């Protein structure tokens, strides 16, 4: 890993064995982009990659100049990285190179989540200072390159060195000019209960973007996009990833201009955003995480998985095996008392489950979703001994105990709202819009964050609590804070999320032993910002195994398996009414942080025995399921959409588990093969099937031994027509591979 600076060519080259990022100071002082991609040799200039002489405005009006951090107003009509309203009301910026410095390591961003380093020599950071002499604005661009990752992390700090306030209207975390537009934009889009569906569409002239204006990253679009060549598959081809460690309003956008080049940018959504920068003040953007893959989407995902798992997630749970949970939500909803919960926990414990999670409804007068958010005192009618007694009883069974909270919310019918109506987001002269019968607290107010820290610390400190599910069940309407001056209302939604981060930071530091899981009606805020505090997230309220194939496939494009919480629930499924075999439900939920969300006391003896086996199987292979390399084999979004397959492989290639899901049964399908990836071609693997089949085609009911070369080149024989005849829909089969 090096950060090379050539004073003659005025060129920067950030390089490791997997990636190069190159840019230079143009003749007129602007910062011009040259290259991002597979590593190029050091010690050479690449200035010729961008032909032409870039000084004077005419070039800016003509051919597109690739720039590092473009601004508008002086001939570059593409989407800007930065826009600032200056004291004279103008918005023209002319940012020229002033100086630069390189440091070992990586700085933190004040108030914002970020990736980090832990050992010396892991990463280096370059800070390039650009200045506009007339406007007295400085922009400090930060670039971090890790030694062993195909990743460049970017961000910017904007400093007002003038005497009067200026208004930041747009401040992207990164902008990247690419020399062509032969790309497809992949985004993860959807809605509640169908998050992270993969959309892939060729770029065309003009702007194409995904974004949020909801105050949270949202179910609709994830703050993560990929540019892939049309020929790029999971296993091969070029791709560029653009992630953002941010949980509020974001944009991720590509613009193809008339010469066919592409500008890609991501950052805080400028729609509705502004930030007043007083004299001497500075504004930091969230960080953008750029990755390059020459080896397909698998390799791109792998780079993100490792970075997010190892250097974004933090705390005592980062590297630990995550427990198998039983959550009472779909088992009881709001209707429970202590005996009922203990019966669930006892039955779960008998099946080997490790942690009991008490979901919504344990506090205030909360017997439905119309009341009590904000009143974080236990409901003594339901739980006469309080959380402490329940938690101790659960611990006495030999399980850990966790609870659900929704700190950012308040119900109109609550003591908190009666006491502090002004702590609720809204425009004083207008009615507030309710969502799920609740309002959102004004997290931009320090006293609200302080209050929540106080009451939640009392809850978490008052009982042996090992796990917290932090929910957020509505997005923001009427964004306004009476606590902010008129001219700062454009800052509100960013200040809101800074308040959320601050509360997360304080609680995770005060309770370092607790495993936090984030949730926002499922995957409504599943993003890299949240993962810095809560290392796992509830991927979707949709627990149907078949729906989950798509959700987990899409989520895995960016996020590691040990961040994706996935539970087995009862049938008919509560979201879609589908009836799937118990084995299939487990075979999907295994690929993530596994758990159950059903009433085990309502199961038959046969079902309990099956779950006991599932739990034992997951424990045996937990490391592989949570931290193996994930390879997507057959997409539920492609072809006839009636099958899916994926696998996880240990880093040393000695063990792997592949899964094949047959969504709809096919009549007389003929022999089917599935080619695996990531194995050791020279190794022999003992292959066994889970669950043990009554009969099987290519792989017998008892294990057989196959070569890694064969499994990858010829494939695994899945099933024969005879075997699939009459077998029904929604089948799953796992193949466990152990090198011998």
- Residue among 241 and 361 whose Cβ is closer to ligand GLA: 361
Residue 714, C-beta contacts closer than 8 angstroms, at least 6 positions apart: 673, 675
- The alpha carbon of residue 424 and the mean position of all alpha carbons in its chain are separated, in whole angstroms, by 28
Whole-number minimum distance, CB 129 to ligand GLA, in Å? Answer: 44
Q: Residues 412, 365: contact at Cβ < 8 Å? A: no
Whole-number minimum distance, CB 436 to ligand GLA, in Å? Answer: 8
Residue nearest to ligand GLA (CB): 360
Q: Residues 15, 2: contact at Cβ < 8 Å? A: yes
- Residue among 285 and 413 whose Cβ is closer to ligand GLA: 413
- How far is the C-alpha of 656 from the C-alpha of 670, rounded, in Å? 26
Helix (H, G, I), strand (E, B) or coil at 185: strand
- Residue among 286 and 600 whose Cβ is closer to ligand GLA: 600
The first and second tokens of residue 359, run together, are 């979901």
Whole-number minimum distance, CB 479 to ligand GLA, in Å? Answer: 22
- How far is the C-alpha of 377 from the C-alpha of 51, rounded, in Å? 67
DSSP 1-51: -EEEEETTTTEEEEE-SS-EEEEEE-TTS-EEEEEEES---SS---GGGS-
Whole-number minimum distance, CB 388 to ligand GLA, in Å? Answer: 22
- Residue among 296 and 592 whose Cβ is closer to ligand GLA: 592
Q: Residues 91, 83: contact at Cβ < 8 Å? A: yes
Question: Which parts of this chain interact with ligand GLA (CB under 6 A)?
Answer: 329, 359-360, 404, 471, 473, 519, 521-522, 538, 541
Whole-number minimum distance, CB 215 to ligand GLA, in Å? Answer: 17
DSSP 363-418: BTT-SSTTB-TT--SB-TTT-TTHHHHHHHHHHHTT-EEEEEE-TTEEESBSHHHH
- Residue among 363 and 618 whose Cβ is closer to ligand GLA: 363
Q: Residues 78, 67: contact at Cβ < 8 Å? A: no
Which residue of the set 359, 541, 542, 544 is catalytic?
Answer: 541
- How far is the C-alpha of 410 from the C-alpha of 373, rounded, in Å? 5
Q: What are phi and psi of 184, to 5 degrees?
A: -115, 140
The first and second tokens of residue 462, run together, are 């008052």
Q: Is 180 annotated in the active site?
A: no
Whole-number minimum distance, CB 515 to ligand GLA, in Å? Answer: 16
Which residue of the set 471, 527, 544, 680 is catalytic?
Answer: 471
- Residue among 227 and 472 whose Cβ is closer to ligand GLA: 472
Segment holding 506, helix H or strand E: helix 492-510
Half-sphere exposure of 321 (CA within 13 A, CB side): 12
Whole-number minimum distance, CB 250 to ligand GLA, in Å? Answer: 21
- Residue among 404 and 501 whose Cβ is closer to ligand GLA: 404
- Residue among 211 and 521 whose Cβ is closer to ligand GLA: 521
Whole-number minimum distance, CB 413 to ligand GLA, in Å? Answer: 16
Q: What are phi and psi of 397, to 5 degrees?
A: -75, -15
- How far is the C-alpha of 204 from the C-alpha of 208, rounded, in Å? 8
Q: Is 471 annotated in the active site?
A: yes
Q: Which residues are marked as active site?
A: 471, 541
């Amino acid at each position: 890993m090096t950060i090379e600076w050539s004073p003659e060519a005025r060129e920067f080259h950030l390089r490791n064995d997997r990636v190069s990022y190159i840019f230079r100071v143009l003749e007129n002082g602007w910062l011009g982009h040259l290259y991002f991609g597979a590593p190029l040799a050091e010690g050479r200039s690449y200035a010729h990659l961008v032909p032409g002489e870039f000084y004077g405005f005419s070039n800016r009006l003509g051919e597109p100049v690739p720039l590092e951090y473009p601004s508008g107003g002086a001939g570059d009509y593409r989407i800007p990285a930065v826009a600032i309203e200056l004291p004279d009301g103008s918005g023209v910026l002319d940012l020229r190179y002033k100086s630069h410095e390189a440091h070992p390591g990586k700085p933190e961003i004040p108030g914002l989540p970020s990736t980090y380093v832990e050992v010396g020599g892991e990463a280096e950071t370059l800070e390039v200072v650009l200045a506009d002499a007339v406007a007295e604005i400085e922009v400090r661009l930060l670039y971090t390159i890790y030694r062993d990752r195909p990743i460049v992390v970017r961000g910017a700090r904007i400093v007002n060195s003038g005497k009067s306030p200026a208004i930041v209207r747009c401040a992207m975390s990164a902008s990247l000019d690419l020399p062509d537009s032969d790309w497809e934009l992949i985004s993860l889009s959807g809605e509640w209960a169908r998050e992270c569906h993969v959309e892939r569409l060729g770029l065309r002239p003009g702007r194409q973007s995904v974004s949020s204006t909801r105050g949270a990253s949202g179910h609709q679009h994830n703050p993560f996009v990929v540019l892939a060549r049309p020929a790029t598959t999971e296993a091969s081809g070029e791709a560029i990833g653009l992630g953002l460690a941010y949980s509020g309003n974001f944009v991720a956008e590509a613009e193809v201009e008339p010469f066919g080049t592409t500008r890609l940018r991501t950052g805080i959504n400028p729609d509705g955003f502004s930030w007043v920068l007083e004299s001497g003040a500075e504004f930091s953007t969230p960080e953008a995480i750029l990755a390059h893959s020459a080896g397909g989407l698998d390799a791109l995902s792998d780079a993100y998985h490792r970075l997010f798992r190892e250097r974004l997630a933090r705390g005592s749970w980062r590297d630990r095996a995550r427990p198998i949970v039983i959550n009472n939500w779909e088992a009881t909803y709001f209707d429970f008392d202590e005996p009922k919960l203990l019966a669930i926990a006892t039955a779960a414990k008998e099946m080997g489950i490790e942690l009991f999670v008490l979901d919504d409804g344990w506090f205030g007068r909360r017997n439905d979703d119309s009341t009590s958010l904000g009143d974080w005192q236990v409901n003594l009618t339901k739980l006469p001994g309080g959380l402490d007694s329940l938690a101790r009883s659960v611990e006495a069974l030999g399980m850990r105990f966790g609870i659900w909270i929704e700190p950012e919310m308040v119900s109109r019918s609550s003591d908190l709202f009666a006491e502090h109506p002004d702590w609720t987001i809204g425009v004083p002269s207008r009615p507030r819009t309710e969502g799920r019968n609740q309002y959102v607290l004004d997290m931009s107010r320090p006293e609200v964050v302080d209050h929540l820290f106080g009451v939640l610390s009392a809850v978490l400190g008052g009982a042996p609590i090992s796990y917290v599910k932090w929910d957020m069940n509505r997005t923001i309407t009427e964004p306004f804070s009476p606590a902010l001056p008129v001219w700062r209302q454009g800052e509100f939604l960013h200040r809101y999320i800074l308040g959320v981060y601050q509360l997360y930071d304080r609680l995770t530091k005060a309770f370092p032993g607790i495993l936090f899981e984030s949730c926002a009606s499922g995957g409504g805020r599943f993003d890299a910002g949240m993962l810095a505090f809560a290392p796992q997230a509830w991927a979707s309220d949709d627990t149907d195994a078949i729906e989950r194939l798509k959700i987990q496939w899409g989520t895995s494009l960016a996020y590691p398996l040990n961040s994706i919480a996935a539970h087995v629930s009862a049938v008919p499924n509560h979201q879609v009414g589908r009836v799937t075999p118990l084995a299939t439900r487990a075979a999907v939920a295994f690929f993530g942080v596994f758990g159950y969300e059903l009433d085990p006391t309502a199961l038959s003896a046969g079902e309990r025995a099956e779950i006991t086996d599932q739990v034992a199987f997951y424990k045996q292979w937990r490391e592989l399921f949570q931290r193996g390399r994930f390879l997507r084999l057959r997409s539920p979004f492609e072809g006839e959409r009636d099958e899916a397959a994926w696998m996880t492989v240990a880093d040393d290639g000695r063990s792997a588990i592949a899964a094949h899901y047959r969504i709809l049964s096919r009549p007389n399908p003929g022999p089917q093969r599935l080619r695996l990836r990531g194995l050791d071609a020279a190794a022999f693997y003992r292959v066994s099937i889970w669950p043990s089949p009554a009969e099987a085609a290519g792989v017998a009911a008892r294990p057989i031994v196959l070569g890694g070369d064969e499994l990858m080149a010829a494939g695994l024989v899945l099933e024969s027509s005879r075997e699939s005849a009459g077998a029904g829909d929604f089948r799953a089969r796992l193949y466990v591979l152990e090198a011998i």
